Amino acid sequence: MVQPALTKTLLTGVIAGVVGGGAILYGQQGVQLLQNQNQKVSTTATSTKTIAKNATATSAYNKVSDAVVSVLNFTKSSQGSYQESSEGSGVIYKKTDGSAFIVTNNHVITGAAKIQVMLHSGKKVTATLVGKDAMTDLAVLKIDGTDVTTTAQFGDSSKITVGENVLAIGSPLGSEYASSVTQGIISAKKRLVEATSENGQNYGGSTVIQTDAAINPGNSGGPLINFAGQVIGINSMKLSTSSSGTSVEGMGFAIPSDQVVDIVNKLVKDGKVTRPAIGISLINLSEVTASEQKSTLKIPDSVTGGVVVMSLTNNGPADKAGLKKYDVIVGINGKKVSSQADLREELYKHSLGDTITLTYYHQDTKQTVKVKLTQKLAS
């Protein structure tokens, strides 16, 4: 029998899981294929130990600044004229076959009837939307590459360290302040923040880098770079007030470059991102009290992290594999799972049809099971 306190905890988890945390294993955002360029970009592994000792904010900025652009979103009036609706930032990451490709935030171009890009030189050119992904808040644009002289290089975000110096570059408050740069540090390598689609579907969370480098309206879509001048993230949002209304300073977030590279390659190749699902809703084990973990989940005291299965899709991959409600997943493919972010990050590296191995506790028994990813995330 479920204890009353745990019932309340887990009921809250179901609501949050189905709409939020669990929805990350169900939702998928697809877009029309506009271009198909098969040349992929990749990350270059650079840790703080290998960044040149004489590297400075100025030297890092100079490597990237010419590749940073302003992105102008135009809507169409009832009279048929175009009016600038909003502005953001972006970074040119590839030039091929006479075209240049730009990564920016999905929310920067949402609702646009026309998109313009202002280059570092100040020249404005028309951009074509290649693809967008609401879950990761990323979009890829294409422009004529004639005037593009510099492309940015992606660094390896898995190699970043807390306390490492970083720069945020973009157009805070619009193109009037284009190519502004702010300096800060990596405050945390991995945070899970809310992610919502244009139609209001809550995807439950997005894994991001936290930084105290100033990120303001208009910086969205611009690069977060290390002192080697490599893009380690795409600036996406800032936290200005807490849920209680308390004013917050120095909490900005960027999409990690490893995730960015994976998504932009898929968008350029296929115009959409198709994700696998295991068919569960879940909550973090940390949301369940120690006494409830012992009395209801019945897991060993040594289990300190993981995700609790709250419900399963009938005949879904997890259901077919034999997982049950209240099982606690602690690993995927040999990698430790402490939270939803860990599970999602590893799961989304796979494609439909792949088979993964989950490690989990069914009460006090540790087990492993193979799960074939036959279900894709619902739109």
Active site residues: 107, 137, 220
Which residues have a Cβ under 8 Å from the Cβ of 15 and sit 6 or more positions away?
Answer: none
Q: Are 322 and 365 in contact (CB under 8 A)?
A: no
Q: How many CB atoms lie within 10 A of CB 351?
A: 11
CA dist 320 and 375 (Å) reads 12
Q: Are 17 and 283 in contact (CB under 8 A)?
A: yes
CA distances from 53 to 64, 77, 187, 227 (A): 19, 53, 21, 10
What's the farthest any 2 CA atoms get from each other in the chain? 69
Indicate the burial class of 242 (C-beta count within 10 angstroms; 0-12, 13-18, 19 or more). Answer: exposed
Instruction: Tokens for 42, please give them.
Output: 């990749």
For 102-129, b/e burial (b = at least 16 CB within 10 A) is bbbbbbbbbebeebbbbbbeeeebebeb
